[in-house]
Structure 1
């Protein structure tokens, strides 16, 4: 599902964004990302996200059987 999501972003969302968003839009997006930082890196987030990832992968593996 993750790969399908990424493919959708690359094949549909990003081309549409490039076509329709203005330079001002892109600056606002960049500002928002810079303001939020990278929530996936550092301390408590690393461990909690790792645990959640393991749980989701185990649930997915269980549902495939």
Structure 2
């Protein structure tokens, strides 16, 4: 069976209009771009805590390996 698709239900548009207008997007102000001090302090505190925890875990692993190799 040879049937061709009928496109009679496709709407006909009068013209191609874009919905993007300058009002839809406005660049953020300098105040909106600035990161709050609390967010910076909190991010630095978390990074420092992760660094200290990683350093302690690695120190423990290295110490355990050295003690296993060389003994007390």
Q: One fold, TM greater than 0.5?
A: no
Larger radius of gyration: 2
TM-score (normalizing by structure 1): 0.33
TM-score (normalizing by structure 2): 0.30
Structure with bigger RCO (C-alpha 8 Å, 6+ apart): 1
